[in-house]
Amino acid sequence: MTATVQTVDTADGAFTLVTDADGSVLASGWTADVDAMLSRIHPSLRPEDVHVGDTAAADAVRGYYDGDLAAIDAVPVRQRGTELQLAGWSALRRVAPGAPLTYTGFAAALGSPRAVRAAASICARNAPALFVPCHRVLRGDGSLGGFAWGLDVKRALLAREGGETLL
């Protein structure tokens, strides 16, 4: 499989995307390190060839950072995982900007209110960050919890989306 990689500048730093031939985002995040992005992709989806190019997904990132928070919603993503992970990633795409969930609320939305650790793991294994907005999930006490791209980025994303400014 061949993929396209593109890095764009954002208010939160360099943002790199890896997309497949269909334009689906395989991985994305706040780094310029292409190898780091490739390592986040499930082995069965990891491209053999990668070239630098323009992607429609990058236009959506620019739109998001220009204030169109819905610009990322229609961008397709492709991930591999368990049935619960796939359901979780799909559910994350429905979490509205400015209305973050707790990990407990996220687990309940998946039909397993006691599966808080599984919910956190789904967020941690999310490769197409921003497009699958795992940053919209917080600890039960309202604190940020973790984020692969750093708490400063998570805090900035939540503030940009009109969510509460948190710890």
Answer whether residue 97 is part of any domain.
yes
Based on the fold, state whether residues 116 and 143 are members of the same structural domain.
yes
User: What average pLDDT does the segment 90-118 reach?
Assistant: 92
Based on the fold, state whether residues 45 and 95 are members of the same structural domain.
no
Q: Check whether 163 has a pLDDT greater than 80.
A: no
> 30 near 149, Cβ under 8 Å?
yes
> 11 near 2, Cβ under 8 Å?
no
Mean of the per-residue pLDDT values for the chain? 93
Q: Check whether 114 has a pLDDT greater than 70.
A: yes
**Residues that are catalytic:** 134
pTM here is 0.93
User: Which domain CATH number covers 14?
Assistant: 3.30.160
Question: Can you give the residue range of the structural domain that contains 108?
Answer: 83-160
